[in-house]
């Protein structure tokens, strides 16, 4: 978070994509296109780069990204080349047309039907038989088998790394670790009957149309909320990574949101709102049930328990009047002038947090953001 706060040209997503890449590394086509686009962006806006972005520009300005497919094909080519010794190739050259047709048919079976483990056994049997016929020495058979085994292990490692990379990218999307992606997803699936939140084995799974989009732990220690009064933002962290940045409305003058540390104490669905009102010079508290036209706090109330020195009043994260869809934007002309002290957020963000945040989640309200949450 400290690094990405210093960006002037790149977005957080662009920085995260290129920061740890190798200028001569091998990547799939889509990744190479994205990396080249980021390089071009750094070059085009070079005079405006921050120090961090300038270092990225210097590192990648002459980058030669390699095709991942090419690297795997090279390994396959090496495997094929070592499968035949020089004596074996000469022996095949002496074979007649009938043998060639037979070999070709066997090769199709070998390449298209047999799995890798069976192919390995066939290779060894062929070389061993050639050794018995005097066409390959025992030492050569042993050497070829060793080289073949090593190359096939290398190929398996390469495939495994490619699979892990694909899984990592898929997991990043499914876990919504990019705040911009999650912001869009949460808004699109809100209030859709195909959206389900399922608690299972210490986790909450977010499902859409039967497919899992994300899975989060229900351990409060995995979560952290940072509320920033100066910018009007709630930042949500999961396992020390920011997953969501939410526009928020904080307390107006004389009803400012108290800075300090809290934790999520309770979560109430369709809560009753207790509104203070002046009646005949006296302050009364009116209970307004959910569904009443005057109800102003949305579908959820995420009650916050103050830690340390207590403050008067009751505070929680909640929404706005659900019957007036533009109410949030009307208030948000000044993010510090539309609330009686509680952080107000939009309904789709509130619904997501209500389902995934466990009780006990720490909340820290600050005037301005520091370099890191531990600062």
Given the residues 295, 335, 342, 355, the one annotated as active site: 342
DSSP string, 213-272: EEEEE--GGGEEEEEETTTTEEEEEETTEEEEEEE-B-B-TTSPPPPEEEEEEEEEESPP
Whole-number Cα distances in Å, 289 to 159, 272, 274, 292, 299: 58, 4, 9, 6, 11
CB 198 within 8 A of CB 213: no
| Cα–Cα dist 322/298, whole Å | 6
| Cα–Cα dist 254/322, whole Å | 26
CB 176 within 8 A of CB 213: yes
Backbone dihedral angles phi then psi of residue 294, each to the nearest 5 degrees: -90, 0
Q: What is the dihedral of CA 349, 351, 355, 358, to 10 degrees?
A: 60
Phi-psi region of 281 (alpha: psi -120 to 50; beta: other; left: phi over 0): left
Exposure on the CB side of residue 146, measured as CA atoms within 13 A = 6
Given the residues 57, 295, 318, 355, the one annotated as active site: 318
Question: Among this protein's residues, is 342 annotated catalytic?
Answer: yes
DSSP string, 65-110: PEEHHHHHHHHHHHHHHHHS-HHHHHHHHHS-HHHHHHHHHHHHHH
Q: Where are the alpha helices (DSSP H) in the chain?
A: 12-18, 29-44, 51-60, 68-83, 86-94, 97-112, 116-132, 138-175, 179-189, 327-331, 347-356
CB 271 within 8 A of CB 297: yes
| Cα–Cα dist 279/282, whole Å | 5
Q: Which residues are catalytic?
A: 318, 342
């Amino acid at each position: 978070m400290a690094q990405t706060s210093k960006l002037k040209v790149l977005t957080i997503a662009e920085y995260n994509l290129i920061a740890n890449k190798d200028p001569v590394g091998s990547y799939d086509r889509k990744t190479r296109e994205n990396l080249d686009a980021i390089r071009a962006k750094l070059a085009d806006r070079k005079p405006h780069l921050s120090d961090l972005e300038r270092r990225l520009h210097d590192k990648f300005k002459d980058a030669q990204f390699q095709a991942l497919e090419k690297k795997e094909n090279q390994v396959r080519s090496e495997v094929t080349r070592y499968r035949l010794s020089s004596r074996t190739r000469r022996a095949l050259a002496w074979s007649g047309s009938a043998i060639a047709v037979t070999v070709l048919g066997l090769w199709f079976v070998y390449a298209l039907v047999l799995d890798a483990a069976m192919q390995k056994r066939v290779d060894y049997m062929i070389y061993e038989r050639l050794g018995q016929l005097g066409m390959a020495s025992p030492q050569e058979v042993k050497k070829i088998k060793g080289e073949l085994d090593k190359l096939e292990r290398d190929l398996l490692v390469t495939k495994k790394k490619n699979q892990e990379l694909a899984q990592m990218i898929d997991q990043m999307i499914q876990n919504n670790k990019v705040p911009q992606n999650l912001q869009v997803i949460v808004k699109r699936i809100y209030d859709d009957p195909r959206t389900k939140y399922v608690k299972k084995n210490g986790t909450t799974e977010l499902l859409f149309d039967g497919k899992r989009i994300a899975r989060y732990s229900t351990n409060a220690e995995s979560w952290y909320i940072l509320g920033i009064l100066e910018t009007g933002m709630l930042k949500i962290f999961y396992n020390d990574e920011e997953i969501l940045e939410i526009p928020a409305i904080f307390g107006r003058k004389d009803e400012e949101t108290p800075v300090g540390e809290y934790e999520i104490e309770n979560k109430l669905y369709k809560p009753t709102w207790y509104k203070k009102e002046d009646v005949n010079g006296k302050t009364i508290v009116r209970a307004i049930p959910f569904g009443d036209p005057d109800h102003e706090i949305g579908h959820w109330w995420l009650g916050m328990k103050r830690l340390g020195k207590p403050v008067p009043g009751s505070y929680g994260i909640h929404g706005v009047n659900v019957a007036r869809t533009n109410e949030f934007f009307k208030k948000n002309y000044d993010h510090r002038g539309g609330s009686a002290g509680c952080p107000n957020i939009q309904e789709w963000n509130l619904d997501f947090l209500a389902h995934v945040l466990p009780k006990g989640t720490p909340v820290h309200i600050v005037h301005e953001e520091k370099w890191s949450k531990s600062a």
